[in-house]
Amino acid sequence: MSVKFSEVCDVVRRQGPEAGERNRDKDPVIGDVVSDSRQVVPGTLFCCIKGETSDGHDYVRAAEERGACALLCERPVDSALPMLIVPSVREVMGDVAAAVYEHPAEKLLMVGVTGTNGKTTTTYVLRSLLQAAGIRTGLLGTIVENDGVMERDADRTTPESCVVQHQLAAMTKNGCGACVMETSSHGLFLGRLKGARYDVPIFTNLYPEHLDFHKDMETYFQAKRLLFTRYAKPGFKGAANAGDSYGRRLVEEFPEGLRGFTLNEGEDAFARVMEWHTALDGTSMTVAMKGRDNPLHLKSPLVGEFNVWNVLCAVTALWGRPGMDEEMIKRGVEAIPQVPGRLERHVLPNGACCFIDFAHTPSALRKVLTTVRGLTKGRVISIFGHGGGRYPMNRPELGRVAAELADLVIVTMDNPRDEDPADIAQAIVKGIEECGGAEHQVILDRREAVCRGLGLLGPDDVLVVSGKGPEKYLQIGHVKHPYNDAETVDEWCRRA
C-alpha cells in the first residue's frame, strides 16, 4: 500500500479544490497517512489539521524528526519536505488516505449506523448477525475499534478520516468481508467519513442532543442525513426507524434504498414487531416482514424495549442479503454479546442482578430505570453521579427521576473534573428531596458506593450503576484515575 507524492497531488486535484505545491520534485513514496505527529513513522504523509485546541502546523518539526516524508497543510510551513497546500485538509484527507490504502471501503460490505440513541448496541447486533453468516466483520464505534484481529479502546465515536481508512485497510488485510461503524453527526459534518461510502446506511432515531454544536434539530438532522446523501454507495439498501418522524422523512425520500421498521401498530413499514416479552435474562420477539408469509421468531439476550428496537433495526437492514437467511438471523440474534456499559448484566452469587449503563441524562436514566423497575420483583437501587462541567441543570432532574423509580438512591462521583464532587452531589440530592425525599445516601467514593449497593442486594433485587458505562477512568481535575464499574462489580463478586 503506497503511492507517490505526485499521485497524491493528482488525487486532490480531481477533487476540485485549488492546491499549491512545494518541493514536488522529491516525489517520495507514501506508505501511511496520519494527523497526529506521535503516530508518524518513516514514509508518512503528515496532515496538519487545525483543531479547537491545537494546530497540526505547529507539529511539523516533530513529524519530520519521526520520519515524515511529505506534508498536507493549509499554509506554507518552514520545511524542506514536499508539501501540498489546500484550503481545507479535512476536506481532502480521507480521499488521500483512501488512495494510499488502495480504497479499502470498496472491498468491504460497509454498514454505517447514525442516530441519537442505540448506535452502539445496534452495531454489536449487526456484527453478530454478519459473523453468524460466516463474514468476518470489523467494528468502529464508541467503545472499541476492532480490525478483525486486534481490538482496542476507541478514542471517539467517529475518528479522523485517515484513521478510518487505516482501520479499514487493516480489516481487509485481516480477511474481513464487512465493517460495521457508528457514524456520529460530528463525524459526518466534519468530513471524517471522506473516502468511505456505505452499502447499508442505517438511521435509529433523533432526539435533542449536541445542540450546542448543531444549534437546532433541523441542522442536527441534516448532518445525520449526509450518511444517505453524501456517503452512501449507488444502489444502497439500508433501514430507517419509521416510528421516528425524522426516520419517516428518510424512508419517504429514499423509498428504494431504505426499509422502514417500527414497533407501532398501524404504521406502514417493511418490518414490524407484532409482540415481544422481556425479562431479566433476555427478550423474545415476533417480527412480521413484507413479502414473508410467516413471522420471524427471535430470542435475544438483551433486555428492554429499546433493545427490541435495536435488534429490529439490525435485522431489517440485513434481511435478505447474501447468507442472511432465517437460520443465520436467528443464530446471530441469539449470539449477541453483552454490550459493555449498555444495560450490561452481571449476576451476583445470590442470584441478584446488577446492570451497568452509560445513561447520564435524565431521559436516559428514566428509560433504564423504567425498564428495570418493570422486571424486578424486589427493590431497585440506583447509583449515579454527574460529570463536572456538563449541563448542571440536569443534576436535580436526575435526582427526581431516580427518586421516582428507585427504592434507594446512592449519589456518588462521576468525572467531577474541576468541580467539587460534593457540590455536584448536593445538586442531585436537591432533586431527590423535591420529589418527596426518597431514601438516599451520598457516598462520593464511587468504588465504595458500588460495593455498598452490591452488599445491600437480596436475591430479587436489582442494582443499576449508571453514568460511566464502559469508561475505564475517573477524571478528577485534569487527572484520569484508573477505574471501571464492571471491574468493581466483578472484584466484589469474587470476594463475596
Query: Read out DSSP for 219-233?
Result: HHHHHHHHHHHTSBP
Residue 236 has pLDDT above 70, yes or no: yes
Mean pLDDT within 130-143: 96
Residue pLDDT, tens place only, 51-109: 878 899 999 999 999 999 999 999 999 999 999 999 999 999 999 999 999 999 999 99
67 and 126 assigned to the same domain: no
Average pLDDT, the chain: 94
350 and 323 assigned to the same domain: no
CATH number of the domain where residue 313 is located: 3.40.1190.10
Coil, strand, or helix at residue 360?
coil
Binned at pLDDT 50, 70 and 90, residue 436 comes out as: confident
Residue 213 has pLDDT above 90, yes or no: no
Q: What is the pLDDT at residue 17?
A: 67
To the nearest whole percent, how much of the chain has pLDDT over 90? 85
Q: How crowded is residue 478: how many other Cβ atoms within 10 Å of its Cβ?
A: 7
Contact 251, 242 (CB under 8 A): yes
> Cell match 454505517: residue?
112
Residue 339 has pLDDT above 90, yes or no: yes
Contact 442, 415 (CB under 8 A): no
171 and 312 assigned to the same domain: yes
To the nearest whole percent, how much of the chain has pLDDT over 70? 99
* Residue 339 domain flag: no
Residue 376 has pLDDT above 70, yes or no: yes
Residue 210 has pLDDT above 70, yes or no: no
Residue 16 has pLDDT above 80, yes or no: no
Query: Hey, which bits of 115-164 come out as E strands?
Result: 137-140, 144-146, 151-153
Specify the number of domains making up the chain.
Answer: 3
Mean pLDDT within 230-244: 96
140 and 276 assigned to the same domain: yes
Binned at pLDDT 50, 70 and 90, residue 329 comes out as: very high
147 and 65 assigned to the same domain: no
157 and 189 assigned to the same domain: yes
Residue 323 has pLDDT above 90, yes or no: no
> Cell match 446488577: residue?
354
How do beta strands 440-442 and 462-466 pair?
unpaired
121 and 242 assigned to the same domain: yes
Positive or negative, the CA dihedral 396, 398, 401, 406 is: negative
Q: What is the pTM of this model?
A: 0.92
Full domain range(s) for residue 459: 344-495
Q: What is the pLDDT at residue 464?
A: 98
What phi, psi does 413 have (nearest 5°)?
-100, 145
> Cell match 441542522: residue?
219
Mean pLDDT within 135-139: 98
CA dist., res. 396 & res. 390, Å (int): 13
Residue pLDDT, tens place only, 254-264: 999 999 999 98
Q: At what angle do helices 89-100 and 161-173 cross, to 10 degrees?
A: 10
Contact 242, 248 (CB under 8 A): yes
Contact 34, 111 (CB under 8 A): no
